[in-house]
Structure 1
Amino acid sequence: MFNILVVDDEPLICKGLSNLLASSGLDISNIYTANSGFEALDCIRMEEIDLLVTDIQMGAMSGIDLMQHAKLAKPWVQTIVISAHETFQYAQMAVRLGAKDYLIKPLNSEQFLDSVRNVLLKMGKPSPELDVFMSGINESFRLEEPLPEYSKLLNELLIDPGVVVAEADNLLKLDNLKLQGPYFCVLKLKVPLSGMNQEKQYTVRDRRLLCYAALNIAKELMDQEWNSIAFYAPDGEITIIIQWDEKSYEDSSAGQINRLDILGRSLHFNIHKYLHLNVVIGISQILKGLSFMAVLNRQASNAILWNNEHSDHYVFYYGDFNWNSYTSDPSVEELHTHSNLIVQKAKEYIDENYAQKGLTIHDVAKKNHVSPNYLSYLFKKNTGYNLWEYVIKLRMEESREMILNTDLRRYEIAERVGYESPEHFSKIFKKYYGISPSELKK
């Protein structure tokens, strides 16, 4: 059963699409609606949404903005975009953000339902059990190396790029791979040696087969929107080199780290979903030039090492850790102090800005110079609260005080605690306290 969120600033369209979905016979559990991007984002944060159907032009937060924030919150949420304009630029941006379809208003009912059906069918692929996966492969199966003639060269490039680049023949091979950059990032995927809860140690053969399956899932995800090459590393890990040319990097350079964060979490989510594996993923920074390949490789490997400190977290970005502050490997106490400082600064920022309209986790993370993913993890680990739950807690406590102790109207209270519409405020309030603002006032 799937949960679908329909977003449009025209309530009649929301109602019409909801009714259409409800009577479609599709495997739908809940249909939620929202009339603005901000309202929709709260729903995505608070509910388990599988599919987002959103208009593209909605005032303060566009459908494109909503998609970006939704991906940061939950990268696995799928999206169908609807628009009154057949504009190439909008369609291109939507596809770049992973939209599964781009439909033009007025919508054809059958076309809309076909689009939703296709997305849900792909999301509902059965998750193969590991035992079935292993037993289904004949003993004579021979594992093929991806890009067999280039894997050795790529691994050498990650160890000593100077030697590789110095040879003209190697440069020609790299050119054939279209490994030209000039901007690069390295991702490392570490497949565990044993099953979840350590109940089963994998044999060398089993682990190679799991790496093969994980590599194929990674390649399928990467091929959708990334210029990348995925291959095996000698130590049994999977390596992915991502590259950007000058134009594609400049188009969204400020958001590339967020995109890498989303990618890492999507990789972990999908490999866990289909293979029941908790792969650990290390993400390097982005540097310009093939000469920095060894640096990027070390960064991704070092990022993975943080799983030793945070064993219940699986996606690590090198830039989240203040490596330059330590002359040697930091002690447990130093790591604990640094983590507490990040959470303390985040709480201080939220305490001062929780009533700001359009406040996002990205805003809080940016002030702390860490990725939203890592901040969310640390915040929950240190406080027991999901970061956005903490924002709602402050907003609800403040609004309750105003309802009980002032004569402010509902729309005034909603405005003061960061909600753009009194209806949306009332919906959140009732979900939080179990009664509406007017019932509390009485």
Structure 2
Amino acid sequence: MKILIVDDEKHVREAIKLLLDWSALGIETILEAADGASAIELIEAERPQIVYTDMMMPNMDGISVLRWIKENAPACKTIVISGHDDFEFVRGTVQYGGMDYLLKPIDAEQLLDVTNKALRSWSEEERERLESQMRSIRINSLRPVYYDKLLTNLIADPATYFAEKASFAQEFPRLTEGAPCRASLLATDTMHGKLRDKFAAHTDLLLFSLTNICNELLNAPDDGFAFRFWSGSQQIALLHWGRPERAEQVLEAINDGLYRTFGTRVEFGIGSARPFPHGAKQSHAEAETALRQRNLRKRSAWVHVFDPQKHSPPADLHFSDYEERVRLAIRSASKEKIAEAVDDWIAEVRKKDVVTMDHLDLWRHEFQVLQSRWIKEFFPVDEADVQLPPEGGTLPLPLNGQGELSLDRLRDEMTASLVRLAELAVKVTQQESHLIYEIARYLQSRLDRDISVQEVAAHFYLSREYVSRRFKQEFGETISDFLLRHRMERAKTLLLNPALKIVQIAHMTGYEDEKYFSKVFKKTFGESPAEYRKKQTGEA
């Protein structure tokens, strides 16, 4: 901590310094000033916690110093040390927040007492200041989240406005019921590669930065507000209410600001002006439609205004039309065949002058449906056991440097995804074959036990149906038939040993009941175990 001693007499300053053990009080720095003007310079530069000041000084007197401290450094505690028992000086000390008024010569105990009092007061107020600051930080950090929730709920259900009317009046006083408003959306899906790469691992930071820039140029909260709209996929939505007729120009200005900051622009969709609050939802839906109808192959504008007369071209091209060719290509595990199948599909897409998000969503859905079908065909185990590449489940939206749809990149990414699926199919098939032989060895090592298919499946963490199906596919017989065949072959071998009783052989081949064992043996070989032994060993 720091203190400042202000007195035009050096010997007084020295006396104050010697009267107390300052280090024991936690004082690390003792500053000195010979007049009020010098004191103010030190207070501005050093920010001491306590100032001891004389009243009668050149350049600036003590009352002026106290007044300045109260106005400019109110956290600082002041103690007056004066040689004048003057009522006006005392009143000025009280008026400007002085802790005490000590007379010279200074009494050490009085000085210690008032110093401790000043230190306690400063510490308590500092704790309160820090707590208040932390509360403000928490409130400020939560405020954007609060705005996001408030406005997201409004767009999703305008009726929530009436339950939150007081909050809207406090936060957005110009946004009143019946006032015209317009909604717009920032398109994050076609964002320029430069911007996405800059924030590659920090999507939240990117959205936070974009929202802040939008709000600065929207003149928030007087004319509008940008917020993160949470509804499945996260969007940046803007609500314009100050001058909604100028919303398009505002969006152009925002784009100019983004260009100055990041060197790139973004696309916006904007709905028509409608009365608040119910019109906000419809205007937002129009902004979404404007973005979904934009041509991803060639950008015509940065701001896409909703046009009720405009309709997307029909989705007459289907990825599912190429299902059989793609499936066979995957089955072949040939990269060349897969590339050829995808090339044929892309060739048809190239004939389309307009590709919208509706088209891409249709193809994405078809891709997912076909993938699910292929998984069931290629991987007979439960789909949850198949670890597909993360990008295998969605059709990506590859862009060129201008943020437009790149059919070359779309072709390459689709081909790579399907090649990975083919490679995984080959790998899983090989693993399955190996696993089935592991199951066969497991069964052969337990011919002396009564073991069920369910126990085998549980041991290998597989479903009963899968084990039964794959075993039959691999060996051409069921697990029961496999066990029966190998048990009977073992029984025939054991029967050659005359020292073993038939009841022992029954137990050694997994049968607790000797009579049942004999019955099964006779049904399999046409003769009983005793008859077989007699024939093989020549026993009488």
Q: TM-score, normalised by structure 2?
A: 0.29
Q: Which has the larger radius of gyration?
A: 2
Higher relative contact order (CA 8 A, sep 6+): 1
TM-score (norm 1): 0.35
